Structure 1
Amino acid sequence: MYCEICGRPIEGEPIPVEVDKAVLYVCRSCATRYGKKVLPPPPQQQQKRPVLQRPKAAPRQLPLEMELVENYADIIKRARENLGLSRETLAAMLGVKETVLRRIEAGQLQPDFSLAKKLEKALGIRLLVEAREEGGAKAEGRLEKGLTLGEIAEIREDGEK
């Protein structure tokens, strides 16, 4: 190693010296003439912190009490065109890629809850509505659709006896 002040090869261990708030590694002769010696900081033992592995968050889906309107694609496209915004501009405002916005407008992709909220705010439209209670309709729909596996098992048990 060479002295950072005079450039001569350093024999032995280089000495750290502070010169104008810069730490230089110098030879013994330069260390006595320039700056003041810097004591190396005592070695600190680094404590290893346990690595906490958080479960990856699943993409946020719409809450159970809110649902997306059926014609969301047409509503978004008309609102964007009425405001005179290009897809590129709106995508930049929302912080999403233009292709994502194009697929949403085409009806190929449903926006998640947070993106639907951003679209509502940016375009001044309503995309999320209260979910309808369909408890009675679902029970009746099951009867119209046909038999369940449990009902088939019961029928077979009755037929075998």
Structure 2
Amino acid sequence: MQKEVQNYCELCGSPIKGKGITVSYEGSIINVCNSCYAKIKGHSKIVDPKKVIYTSSKQQLPKHQKAQPKLESKEDVWEIIDEYPKLIRQARERLGMTTKDLAQKLKVQENVIKRFELGRLKPTIQQARELERVLSIKLLVKVEEKGEEGGANKAKYELTLGDVVNIREGNE
């Protein structure tokens, strides 16, 4: 006679009586108790547990979705140039747009555009890309990674846990 495995709610941790309810909640497929399901049912969708597959990263996906491969390469790092307020204002004026017109195109409040132009608010990378597209200007520059030699120097000056212990003990 096989002993039945006890399932636990993946939200509250309490033992589940019966099979529980498998739901898609905030991008994850989880098994929850009736009490937790009552709390999240407006934000979740019931999933058939027979149609769930497990990927190598233990992420659960419905069978109709394919796991997206994770790219090992480093993403480019972008930075907004320091002269962004002046460039945004000049480009907007060159195109004959008001701050209200630009705000509507970017789907932000007019106050946000004014703050960009005064330098009081720095656009996010996504906002900078939109500004570049709409105004035909260049606001983003790629941050150059130092080569292997620079990387070795960088590692030389990084603080490690051992360094923290030595500092606290007064050894350095």
What's the TM-score once normalised by structure 1's chain length? 0.48
Pair member with larger Rg: 1
Query: Comparing both chains, which one has the higher relative contact order based on Cα–Cα distances under 8 Å and sequence gaps of 6 or more?
Result: 1
- Normalising by structure 2, we get a TM-score of 0.46
